Amino acid sequence: MKTWIKILGVLLLFYAHIAGLLMEVPRLNIVNETIRATYFHVPMWFGMVFLFLMSLYYSILYLRKPSLELDIKAESFAHAGLAFGILGILTGMIWANYTWGSPWHGDPKQNGAAIATLVYLAYFVLRGSIDNMEQKARLSAVYNIFAFAAMIPLIFIIPRLTDSLHPGNGGNPGFNMYDLDSRMRLVLYPAIMGWFIIGYWMVSLRIKLSKQLDILLDLEDEKLK
């Protein structure tokens, strides 16, 4: 990763946090000031979907042409995506506590998010329980693809079918939530961009670490011989 991109990511997030807390926001009933949660909660989901998509992409690549590097990439992206997902759930719970009255409201979106986390936790349990490196990589790639496909109905279809209190629902839980006006876009888009960059940065650090550990293991093996 280029250094200027990292600096850009940090600056974008600095801007998003300061502007997100200080700038003028639209006044809506019930939501009021908690509308600022958009800047911190929504980018988590964008980041999570982005990271899981990258993980899916590397899993597909792995099945087409197996190599240890691709497996490490798929695993690292899933790892960071899971972290984003958990943060997304937590920020959502904080918001829900003030707006809906309880942190866990059993909303279809909350349940869907919880199941998505379960899927990737299962992915890591699967990785942990296979000793053979090559087999671990292949089976977890297969599960990654299968689970992602099974998750799509949960996250994108079921919330559209059932009633939900989540803002933007009752119609389309898509992008235009809160009637995003131009002032909010000025903060939301940079925040999403910033989190994309930071997420990618985290992943690239993790990939580097895994590769070094791999080299270290090889060196130790040679010593033993």
CA torsion sign for 40, 41, 46, 48 is positive
CA distance 202 to 209: 11
The 10 Å CB-count burial string (b at 16+, else e) for 22-49 is eeebeeeeebeebbbbbbbbbbbbbbbb
Shortest CB 157 distance to other proteins, Å? 6
Burial of 128 (0-12, 13-18, 19+ CB in 10 A): exposed
Alpha carbon of residue 144 to chain centroid: 15
Residue 6 or 127: the one with the smaller Cβ distance to other proteins is 127
Residue 5 or 133: the one with the smaller Cβ distance to other proteins is 133
Shortest CB 113 distance to other proteins, Å? 12
Shortest CB 174 distance to other proteins, Å? 18
**Tokens 């980018």, residue?**
43
Binding flag, residue 86, other proteins (CB under 8 A) = no
On whether the CB atoms of residues 147 and 82 are closer than 8 A, the answer is no
On whether the CB atoms of residues 58 and 73 are closer than 8 A, the answer is yes
Binding flag, residue 129, other proteins (CB under 8 A) = yes
Residue 131 or 222: the one with the smaller Cβ distance to other proteins is 131
Binding flag, residue 67, other proteins (CB under 8 A) = no
Residue 11 or 157: the one with the smaller Cβ distance to other proteins is 157
Residue 81 or 190: the one with the smaller Cβ distance to other proteins is 81
Binding flag, residue 68, other proteins (CB under 8 A) = no
CA distance 5 to 11: 10
Binding flag, residue 145, other proteins (CB under 8 A) = yes
Question: What x/- string results for residues 22 through 51 when contact with other proteins is judged by CB under 8 A?
Answer: ------------------------------
The residues binding other proteins (CB under 8 A) are 63, 115-116, 118-119, 122, 125-126, 129-131, 134-135, 138-139, 141-143, 145-147, 149-154, 157-158, 161
